[in-house]
Amino acid sequence: MSSTKFKKDKEIIADYETQVKEIRNQLVEQFKCLEQHSESRIQLLQDLQEFFRRKAEIEMEYSRSLEKLAERFSSKIRSSREHQQFKKDQHLLSSVNCWYLLLNQTRRESRDHATLGDIYTNNVIVRLTQISEDVIRLFKKSKEIGIQMHEELVKVTNELYTVMKTYHMYHTESISAESKLKDAEKQEEKQFSKSGDLNVNLLRHEDRQPRRSSVRKIEKMKEKRQAKYSENKLKCTKARNDYLLNLAATNAVVAKYYIHDVSDMIDCCDLGYHASLARTFRTYLSAEYNLETSRHEGLDIIENAVDNLDSRSDKHKIMDMHNQ
Amino acid sequence: MSSTKFKKDKEIIADYETQVKEIRNQLVEQFKCLEQHSESRIQLLQDLQEFFRRKAEIEMEYSRSLEKLAERFSSKIRSSREHQQFKKDQHLLSSVNCWYLLLNQTRRESRDHATLGDIYTNNVIVRLTQISEDVIRLFKKSKEIGIQMHEELVKVTNELYTVMKTYHMYHTESISAESKLKDAEKQEEKQFSKSGDLNVNLLRHEDRQPRRSSVRKIEKMKEKRQAKYSENKLKCTKARNDYLLNLAATNAVVAKYYIHDVSDMIDCCDLGYHASLARTFRTYLSAEYNLETSRHEGLDIIENAVDNLDSRSDKHKIMDMHNQ
């Protein structure tokens, strides 16, 4: 039975070692996840930066094309106006007015898309770069804190391991002391049964002296073993209490780690990330909404001019113009 | 006095000819103006067509660039998704969601600007071409009508000229007949005063016979001249009435031409021009407003996603993802 008990102890230690190993693997895995998570964030931020960089280029290209288009016709109008000085504003035909406003709108769109590209480059991308830097910085900081937490975890599990081994050692010793004590008790019992025979065979006196010293010897050994056993038992109980306290503490640390610390570590990595990202997106949205408002204003001006397309007034302007 | 009167008549005819010439110049000038006006319209329509043709190209270019941009990142996402099958929709992080919606918006903008370019090419430009054709057609028709009106004007002024010349001729003849009659009357008077002398100098009888025949001769001449004068006077009065009626009719035609016909001719040229142009501009505006609405919808979707950026939910998704 002592042998099976010993085997069981070995199994417990092996189990424990497996568990500790698993926890360590999990810690490594968690770091990997956190790293992966930060990397995917940085990747996302890089993609966003690259996206806005390219979109800014597209907006600038679009803006330049629109500007060129408007300028091509505006310069034509300017040069024809020099020849036809009589085409003053009061003689501006409503149809020609629509055309001029269309060119104005084109210039406005050109300006607005250039502004958009500018905001992408000088605001959105700058913010994204800052967020990237923050993510890297916070990941490093979180990793440092994580490493400290891991070390703490390793320390308490190592301590627990030591305490557990001590407990097992004392437990084993206590068991062996107990079995030795039991041996001594058995020997004493045997001696006592021999002493009973002694009273019956009182005639054989020459035998009595050596038998009494042997009893004393056994008695002494038993006492010694009793003392040893008590001592071991005490040590074992102390070690067991130590172990139980340590186990509770370690479990608390492990639980705290899994329930709070991992979460806190992610929180630390996340610090300000969503808020900064939201601010950046809002900058983008605000720029887009501004472009939309400006565009809409321009279209409304054209719509108003189209509503005021008036053949009667244009005819009078033409007749006035030729009567001058 | 007859000579100055004749001179005055000549002046009147010269004045008249100057006026008719001026009217003809004005007619030519008016045609030139109408032609110039139609030409400037066609020029405007050509400019608009050219503008929309080029703007359609710019929109298509912009659309292609945006599509390429979105596709570049979308294909990257697709290929990374194949590796990471675990990133299912329920695990889509709110930050990544914003990024996907940004790409959706880019694709939407690409689509909308392509639609815009398409509407320019297949609707706006087609309408402008039709308006150009209408302007040319209506100008030709107006010119035809104008030429008819001019011919009518030339006809009535020519008629007036003839009638006026006739009147002036009869007037001149009437005046000369009148002066001849007056001569005859003077001669008769002279003869009568000689007849008075005759009664006084009754003795010279041999003279009486030739004197009586001379009186008869003068009498006869006077009667003839009286008849001629009356006839001419009548003719002149008739011609004058004719002239006055013709003058009134011509003035009415000229007035009608300047007050109504020129205006009608411009109206004929204008027929439907402003309405068609307005419809074309409204097609353009409607396309632009549609793009704006779509754009706005997309931005609102992104704004909603930005409002829903949630670090807590993202953290749980990450932890769930790694616990699987």
Residues B85, A136: contact at Cβ < 8 Å?
A: no
Residue A132 binned pLDDT confidence (cut-offs 50, 70, 90): very high
Considering CB atoms only, which of A73, A303, A311 is closest to B270?
A311
Please report residues of B whose CB lies closer than 8 A to that of A272. none
User: How far lies A130's CA from each of A38, A125, B79, in Å?
Assistant: 14, 9, 28
- pLDDT tens for residues A139-171? 888 888 888 888 888 888 888 888 888 888 888
CB–CB contact A319 B262 (8 Å) = yes
Q: In 3-state terms, what secondary structure has residue B86?
A: coil
The mean pLDDT of A227-250, rounded to a whole number, is 89
B interface test, pick of A28, A42, A72, A95 with most B CB neighbours within 10 Å: A95
Considering CB atoms only, which of B54, B99, B277 is closest to A95?
B277
Q: Is the pLDDT of residue A203 over 60?
A: no
- Distance (Å, rounded) from C-alpha A132 to C-alpha A124? 12
Residues B164, B13: contact at Cβ < 8 Å?
A: yes
Q: Which of A123, A127, A124, A134 is nearest to A272 (CA)?
A: A134
Q: Which of A169, A28, A62, A123 is nearest to B110 (CA)?
A: A62
Residues B281, A98: contact at Cβ < 8 Å?
A: yes
Residue A91 or A275, more confident: A275
Q: At what angle do helices B2-83 and A2-83 cross, to 10 degrees?
A: 170
State residue A202's pLDDT score: 57
State residue A1's pLDDT score: 40
Please report residues of A whose CB lies closer than 8 A to that of B61. 61-62, 65
Please report residues of A whose CB lies closer than 8 A to that of B106. 55
State residue A2's pLDDT score: 47
Considering CB atoms only, which of B37, B65, B98 is closest to A281?
B98
State residue B121's pLDDT score: 97
In the block, tokens 């009415």 appear at B252
- Distance (Å, rounded) from C-alpha B298 to C-alpha B290? 12
State residue A88's pLDDT score: 59
The nearest CA of chain B is from the CA of A84 a distance in Å of 12
The continuous run of DSSP H or E covering B143 comes out as helix B125-200
The mean pLDDT of A272-289, rounded to a whole number, is 95
- Locate the chain A residue with the closest alpha carbon to B61: A62
Amino acid making up residue B105: Q
A236 Cα distance to chain centroid: 43
- The 3 state secondary structure assigned to chain A is CHHHHHHHHHHHHHHHHHHHHHHHHHHHHHHHHHHHHHHHHHHHHHHHHHHHHHHHHHHHHHHHHHHHHHHHHHHHHHHHHHHCCCCCHHHCCHHHHHHHHHHHHHHHHHHHHHHHHHHHHHHHHHHHHHHHHHHHHHHHHHHHHHHHHHHHHHHHHHHHHHHHHHHHHHHHHHHHHHHHHHHHHHHHHHHHHHHHHHHHCCCCHHHHHHHHHHHHHHHHHHHHHHHHHHHHHHHHHHHHHHHHHHHHHHHHHHHHHHHHHHHHHHHHHHCCHHHHHHHHHHHHHHHHHHHHHHHHHHHHHHHHHHHCCCHHHHHHHHHHHHHC
- Distance (Å, rounded) from C-alpha B222 to C-alpha B188? 8
- Distance (Å, rounded) from C-alpha A100 to C-alpha B16? 46
Would you kindly state where each structural domain of chain B is located, as residue ranges? 2-323
CB–CB contact B309 A266 (8 Å) = no
**Yes or no: domain A19-164+255-323 corresponds to CATH 1.20.1270.60:** yes
The nearest CA of chain B is from the CA of A99 a distance in Å of 7
CB–CB contact B302 A281 (8 Å) = yes
- Give the largest Cα separation in chain A, rounded: 174
Residues B62, A113: contact at Cβ < 8 Å?
A: no
Query: pLDDT tens digits for chain B (324 residues)?
Result: 445 555 666 787 788 788 878 877 887 887 888 888 889 899 999 999 999 999 999 999 999 999 999 999 999 888 876 656 545 566 789 999 999 999 999 999 999 999 999 999 999 999 999 999 999 998 888 888 888 888 888 888 888 888 888 888 888 888 888 888 888 888 878 877 776 665 555 555 555 566 677 778 888 888 888 888 888 889 889 988 988 998 898 888 888 887 887 778 777 778 889 999 999 999 999 999 999 999 999 999 999 999 999 888 888 888 787 765
B312 Cα distance to chain centroid: 73
CATH no. for B2-323: 1.20.1270.60
- Distance (Å, rounded) from C-alpha B317 to C-alpha A271? 17
A36 Cα distance to chain centroid: 9
ipTM: 0.79
- Distance (Å, rounded) from C-alpha A260 to C-alpha A250? 15
Residue A206 binned pLDDT confidence (cut-offs 50, 70, 90): low
Please report residues of B whose CB lies closer than 8 A to that of A66. 55, 58
CB–CB contact B73 A51 (8 Å) = yes
CB–CB contact B61 A66 (8 Å) = no
Task: State the DSSP string of B211-257.
Answer: HHHHHHHHHHHHHHHHHHHHHHHHHHHHHHHHHHHHHHHHHHHHHHI
For residue B193, with 0-12 CB atoms within 10 Å meaning exposed, 13-18 middle and 19 or more buried, which class applies?
exposed
In the block, tokens 């570590």 appear at A265
A interface test, pick of B55, B72, B79, B135 with most A CB neighbours within 10 Å: B55
Task: State the DSSP string of B174-204.
Answer: HHHHHHHHHHHHHHHHHHHHHHHHHHHTTT-
- Distance (Å, rounded) from C-alpha B194 to C-alpha B191? 5
Please report residues of A whose CB lies closer than 8 A to that of B310. 274
Q: Is the pLDDT of residue A118 over 90?
A: yes
The mean pLDDT of A34-58, rounded to a whole number, is 93
Maximum mean pLDDT: which of A196-210, A226-240, B8-22: A226-240
Residues A124, A45: contact at Cβ < 8 Å?
A: no
The mean pLDDT of A280-288, rounded to a whole number, is 97
- Distance (Å, rounded) from C-alpha B257 to C-alpha B266? 12
A179 is written with which tokens?
A: 């079995």
Q: Which of A113, A64, A295 is nearest to B290 (CA)?
A: A295
- Distance (Å, rounded) from C-alpha B171 to C-alpha B164? 10
Residues B154, B292: contact at Cβ < 8 Å?
A: no
CB–CB contact B58 A44 (8 Å) = no
- Locate the chain B residue with the closest alpha carbon to A62: B62
In the block, tokens 């003392």 appear at A227
Q: Which of B323, B85, B83 is nearest to A30 (CA)?
A: B323
State residue B89's pLDDT score: 63
Please report residues of A whose CB lies closer than 8 A to that of B302. 281, 285
| Chain pair A-B, CB pairs under 8 angstroms | 144
